[in-house]
Structure formats: structure tokens, C-alpha cells
Amino acid sequence: MFLGAAALYVAAIFVLSHLSGAFFQDFGLKIWDKLIHALEYLPVGFLLAGWLSNWKRHLPGRVVFVVVVLAMVLVLGALDETHQFFVPGRTASIGDLLADVVGGTLGAIIGLVVFSRWRS
């Protein structure tokens, strides 16, 4: 369930990433770009944490759990930024990737707390 939801959510991110930068400017999004990236990837970390919580007993600790989710978010964010590099009017940046990772990590931590209590 969680993996499917995460896959659909990430697919939606990639679809939105394929829109030109002009679309977002015309849409009137004036919010700080890095905040959007962090908020966009927070659910990714949360959903991946939900999926991974089924196998948490195989991981040696909470830190490793968060690091595994962080690695997955890093790969997804890097793929998204690479994709944006090829979309006219969009740019790829390390700052955006870092914001993705921060949001995903926060989502993973929230997920760890929620799913640890839910599963016990």
C-alpha cells in the first residue's frame, strides 16, 4: 500500500517537473522555491517510511532506518533534478536537491514515530 502510494506520488512529481518553468510563474507560485521542494518531498519520506516499517525489524536501528529512507529520497530527488535539466524553462540545482532531502528526511522521521507507535 505505502510503496504504491509513494510510486504514484513520485510519478506526479515527475509529471509536474516536466512542465515548463513558465507554467509555474504564470500560475502565481511566489512561495520560496526551497520550501516547495521540502514540502513536496516530505510525503515521499513519510510514505517510504511506512513501506519500510514492515521490514524495520531487519534494520539495526532507527538511525539506519532514516538513512535508508534518506538514500531513497536522495536518489529520487537526483533523478528529478536530472530530469528538470532537460526540460525547457526548468533548472536543476544542488540547492533544490538538498531541499528535497531535508523534506524527505523530515517525512521519514515523522513516519518512524507514527509507524513505530502504530505497529506496536
d(CA 50, CA 111): 6
Residue-by-residue pLDDT tens, the chain, 120 positions: 899 999 999 999 989 887 765 555 545 555 577 888 999 999 999 999 999 887 766 667 777 888 888 999 999 999 999 998 888 878 888 999 999 999 999 999 999 889 877 765
Grid cell, residue 32, equals 520560496
pLDDT at 29: 54
Q: For residue 76, what are the contacts with CB-CB under 8 A and spacing of at least 6?
A: 10, 41, 44, 100, 104
d(CA 44, CA 8): 10
**Nearest partner of 6 among 106, 104, 83, 118, judged by Cα:** 104
Grid cell, residue 52, equals 519500510
pLDDT at 57: 65
Contact between 45 and 105 (Cβ < 8 Å): yes
pLDDT at 119: 63
- Domain boundaries defined on the chain: 2-119
**Nearest partner of 71 among 104, 114, 113, judged by Cα:** 104
